[in-house]
């Protein structure tokens, strides 16, 4: 249940937006990838897992399964053995294979480059699809992970009880530059506005901060 915090005013929202874009002008994902297939796999693995951990796992995984066809034909237990240091690896292994099978069966082995098609792939939800589109195409989309959710609540940008509702609110309020704002809020939340012990002393968002409470999706 989301805690109640004071809402940011329209003026504050514009100033917060400006500050994020100013402080994080060229931010990109910290996941390592060389093509859209690798990006999609990395993003699927990153749910409830750190990017650092995913980057340790993926080089060997991509060497063994370099494309959707090889992953579609993979043995489940073998895939698990490559990703078993990642949280929820049992489900993730199943979903990775199912995703690859649907890419082979329905898209000729090419990952579709449209959000509405990506979400039709097995194991790919709206957040995963949005993150892939944001990163790969710079699409004007918002995606809400645990960092974006916490930052949005602390700054009074949303009081939504779910990540999807929070995504809707941020989309409505920010309107443009959503992909850059997404990356900025992820990095801001990961390295400064942390869940535990946020670095508030010299925080550039301090004038807009409503609370240091922790918010979890
Ligand atoms: S002052 Fe602290 S809690 Fe508030 S936005 Fe900055 S880092 Fe986050």
5-59 pLDDT, tens digit each: 899 999 999 999 999 999 999 888 999 999 999 999 999 999 989 999 999 999 9
**Domain at 10-27+143-208: CATH code:** 1.10.1670.10
177 catalytic per annotation: no
192 alpha carbon to ligand 1 midpoint, in Å?
7
45 alpha carbon to ligand 1 midpoint, in Å?
28
pLDDT at 196: 93
Domain boundary assignment for the chain: 10-27+143-208, 36-137
**pLDDT digits over 100-152, tens only?**
999 999 999 999 999 999 999 988 999 999 999 999 999 999 999 999 999 99
Record: fold of 36-137: Endonuclease III; domain 1 (1.10.340)
158: left (phi over 0), alpha (psi -120 to 50) or beta: beta
Residues 6+ apart with CB under 8 A from 107: 117
Q: Considering the chain, what is the average pLDDT of its residues?
A: 95
Which residues sit with their C-beta closer than 6 Å to ligand 1?
Answer: 154, 192-193, 198-200, 203, 205-206, 209, 212
% the chain with pLDDT above 70: 99
**H or E element, residue 166:** helix 163-174
Ligand 1: residue of 154, 197, 208 to mutate (most ligand atoms within 8 A of CB) is 154
116 catalytic per annotation: no
| Interatomic CA distance for residues 133 and 142, integer angstroms | 10
């Amino acid at each position: 249940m989301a805690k109640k915090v004071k809402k940011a005013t329209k003026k504050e929202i514009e100033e917060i937006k400006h500050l994020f874009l100013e402080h994080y002008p060229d931010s990109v994902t910290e996941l390592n990838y060389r093509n859209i297939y690798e990006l999609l796999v990395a993003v699927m693995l990153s749910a409830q897992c750190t990017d650092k951990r995913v980057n340790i796992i993926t080089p060997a995984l991509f060497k063994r399964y370099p494309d959707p066809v090889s992953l579609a034909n993979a043995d489940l237990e073998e895939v698990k053995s490559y990703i078993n240091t990642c949280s929820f690896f049992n489900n993730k292994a199943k979903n990775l294979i199912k995703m690859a099978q649907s890419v082979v069966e329905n898209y000729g082995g090419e990952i579709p480059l449209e959000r509405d098609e990506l979400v039709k792939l097995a194991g790919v939800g709206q957040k995963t699809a949005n993150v892939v589109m944001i990163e790969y195409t710079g699409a004007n989309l918002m995606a809400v992970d645990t960092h974006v959710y916490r930052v949005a609540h602390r700054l009074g940008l949303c009081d939504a009880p779910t990540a999807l509702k929070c995504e809707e609110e941020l989309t409505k309020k920010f309107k443009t530059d959503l992909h850059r704002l997404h990356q900025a809020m992820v990095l801001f939340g990961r390295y400064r506005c942390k869940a535990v012990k946020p670095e508030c002393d010299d925080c550039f968002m301090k004038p807009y901060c409503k609370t240091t409470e922790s918010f979890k999706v």
